[in-house]
Structure 1
Amino acid sequence: MPAENKKKDGKPPQPRNFGSSLLSLLVTLFLINYVVLPALGPGRTRVSYSEFLKQVRAGNVEEALLGETEIRYILKEGTEGAEATPAQPTSPSPSPPPSSPSSSFGEAHEPPSPSPPPPTTPEAPNFRDQQQPVYSTVPIADNTRNLVELLEENNVEFRAAPQGGFLSTLLGWVLPPLIFVGIWAWFLQRAQGGSAALTVGRSKARIYAEGNTGVTFDDVAGEDEAKAELEEIVEFLKQPDKYTRIGAVIPKGVLLVGPPGTGKTLLAKAIAGEAGVPFFSISGSEFIELFVGVGAARVRDLFQQAKQKAPCIVFIDELDALGKARSSNSALGSNDEQEQTLNQLLTEMDGFEGNTGVIIIAATNRPEVLDPALRRPGRFDRLVTVDRPDKLGREAILRVHAKKVQLDSDVDLGAIATRTPGFSGADLANLINEAALLAARKNQTLVRMADLNEAIERVIAGLERKSRVLNPLERKIVSYHEVGHAIVGFLMPGSNRVEKISIVPRGVGALGYTLQLPEEDRFLMAEDEIRGRIATLLGGRSSEEVVFGKVSTGASDDIQKATDLAERMVTIYGMNSKLGPVAFERIQQQFLNPNSARRIISPEVTALIDQEVQRIIDAAHQVAQEILRLNRDLLEEIAETLLQNEVLEGEALQQYLKRAKAPTELTDWLQTGEWQPLADELGNS
């Protein structure tokens, strides 16, 4: 498990939620000021302004507090606000009102007389010391002067209401900015995927303490050469004195290149697991953000953390997302985010200040797009190719993944390894899992050899789709089409062994398929073998022409593959006598699906290339037709059997194919590429 900044209990601390904490503080202050504090004081009864004036004129108001937005007052003891006695008519010599008991504010007010005024009492602005109920009303604007005169006429003690306390003043000035900051922090937190608001430039690398990745070299199979290269890195991390005492310097960086699914990330985890040092794991895309400079800041922070934990390993997956070659004609100029991040990475790996004890391991399947400054020695000193495994490697990988499932005694992993050339480690892991799923669907307790064979077909051709029902004519066309592939393929040199013919639809568009599996690993193809493969691809279409006299749309994929092979013979492989060993195309991708782009050539050479490609395709097409005409009876017999059984494989299929006959001109065509009937036709034309 990742162990970034682990606590003593082994659980990583959760990132601080700045926005939520600020909002909680604001809510707490609001409740204290507007709910708790008002609850501590006396309750106030809201009345109308006219009721207040009525009580003043009646002489029932003891004291009033005047504010801009509220007037609070208390009545004299023994007086009820709702049932106040109306004021008596005045006379020239009014008698003083009856005296009332003393209140906490002092003696009851007397009308003006020669006697000294009653003593005043300390302010009680909130009437908290009074037993009388407190009333409040909202004043009418521009009526303050008249109200003051009215209060003086009726001997009402009044004063200005005090302003809010310190907490109210503080909230009035601080609350609006805090609300704005809280909302901004919340939105920024959501935009950064849950990280803290002020840590945009922090590295997002996952840290595994002491190499606790759960993977060692025992979990990696089929890549013996790559493991041997990387074991030196592990030994240096364990015993650095062995190398430093004679002046050797361990490579600063190791670049793992290879096709997808070959185990580059798994190898990096195994290095950390074997060395027992901290392991930083991050993807190249995690450095790139919308704002320029954020990626460079994350690179600096990553290497700063790595220096503190040295010796350690920093693994950058999908390096091509970060290290693409810089271009002077970029639409964004030289200051875009990707270039700034790459420049910072170059500086950190081999700049003015070295990174002692920090080893960089990166993985990519597109090394051709990397910046030359990134690949040079001093940054990535060692290039390790992690290629697809050979037969022995595939068998070793199958044994590693087969430990997790229950295998029957009839399972031969060596045979499965032979039938799966070109499979990567991920493909083989998926193969074992598919076989286990098939066995579980059948309620079996063990995985059998038949389940593994079915899993191979599922990986190669797709899921079987028996729900797609073909009409009788379509089934007949598909049957003859697939048998044509099988007969032509059986007679061609270097061709894979025909294992199975099926007219059960599979995958997205395959209405039937002919399964050819190699008997050994092949790394080169001769010229005659490529011609034979082109003829095999055209065998299905040729069978339709021989039997039905017309063609269908089922050969579209075959034609595309045959044309690609013929064009590669001419433009890349140099297998043409007229054009010679000249490359007219460039391979753009090395480990992904190879795409080629034709370089600038003259129109005359382009026309000649097209003619030669057409001649290769036409010759292979005529060869396939001649083979099927010669074996017409066998073609009919196998097709009828396939229509009845839907699937033909094993020894029964081999007995049929052994009866196939080859034309006498086939050997000459394979060697020279010239088919005599076609040459005669071209000469006559």
Structure 2
Amino acid sequence: MAEDAMKEQEWLYPGESLSESQDHRPSDGPALSWRRELKSKEIAVLGLEKLWRQLNLTGPMLIFHSPFVSTSSFLLYFEHHPLLLDRLVAAGQRRKRPRFGQLSGWRSLPAPDLAWGLTVSARAECLFKSDLTHRAELGDRGTQPASLYGWKLYQFASGWTALSVYYTEEDYDNVAFTAVPQGRQDEWLAFLDLLVETYKQHLHQHGRGSIEIVGTATKPRDLITVIRQASWNDVVLPEATRALVEAQRRIFDPAILRHYAALRVPRLRKVLLVGPPGTGKTTLLKAEGAYHARRGGRVLYVTPSTSNYDGGSSWNMLSTALQTAADSRLPTLVLVEDFEAFVSDPKEQQIILNTLDGVATPDNPAGTLLLATSNNPEQIDPRIRDRPGRIDALIELRPVQDEQLAVRFLQHLLGAGYREEEHAPVASQLLGQPGSHLREVCLTAALHALDENRTAVLAKDLLWAHEVILNGRAAAAQSERFAPPPPRRRGSYFGKR
């Protein structure tokens, strides 16, 4: 079919290139324009055939869709990314014996006349962050282009040559076609595998100590700054609870990783923090993220998807983060708030189960810790929540029940203004409340003291603030108090009944 189309095109415009004839052909002739005569895929194939002849490449040619490389990155068609190609060539030059699929050189080619208009310049769809996993944002450094559209020639260490074209169709689908000598297709696939390995090495180099947002966030740079500046000094927990949380870091210990490997269990630990709002789950997540990044680990903070743009569903965002962690081969902490929002789509349940503990579980040789929170664990499918292996540990964060813990909160929140004899007796009045309540008590008490022209917060200020906040919460819970009164029955026209 492609040869017939080629003959028909030459018959329509003998002696001319398409670029020359485009503006001179009669508009009312029997033939349609070449863009209507040939589909973009046919043009790509014909262009590869023409380049093959022009470059005097030998042997029967095989043309096929280049396999899409499925990784955690949104980067498409690795064989068209200059950075990865250059690194693969450089790696081959350092080896005494070339590997199967080893690239020895590459270069961009001008678009053949036949394919004029399909892709005429080496342009990128977008910019990526330095690790090539996500699109770049304002203020990023070390950014890289996405895979470049255009035509490329590849020279292999075993002495053969391939061609490829990468372009976008009118419906914005990205497509790549490859032309290799028949019999070399297995080595082409090996070449793509080497590119994936090169990508993972790049990811490993650029991920140390990084904090990244996976998904959509209104101000991602601000969120990263907040996480990086967080501290365990801001976390007030019972000692037993804190020790249990810190124990989950053992997944990154070499001895534990070897034990997982010996059992043939993916080196992914999943921990769920549960409890009512205000008990410190979010503060704990950020503090653990800052701690992990300072030790050189990689932190991925996952946000829910708000649309199908750039990754699809919320679960897809989390799945991408888990695979990115495995690809980076770095100790990786994956942080997720409101876990139930990521795992509740019934259409995705099977892949969720398989990913958390099954055939699709990503295995990170350096270990991955998924640390998630939930205010409503009852909304999580019991097959996930109650199955060891899908959730390895459930840690409950409760309201303040211990007087000594309440004292620690007051010490932390009042800072230099805390006085044991003045404030410690108030602690017993604050039991049964989440940590966020104690924080608001201290803030409101400080405002009350200023209203009375004092800088020192007294016990009576704390008790006053505690009472005001409880009364306001109780009033808000009585919804009938704020409902509009029912409309009175109206009379008929001019007040007559």
Comparing both chains, which one has the higher relative contact order based on Cα–Cα distances under 8 Å and sequence gaps of 6 or more?
Answer: 2
Higher alpha-carbon Rg: 1
TM-score by length of 2: 0.46
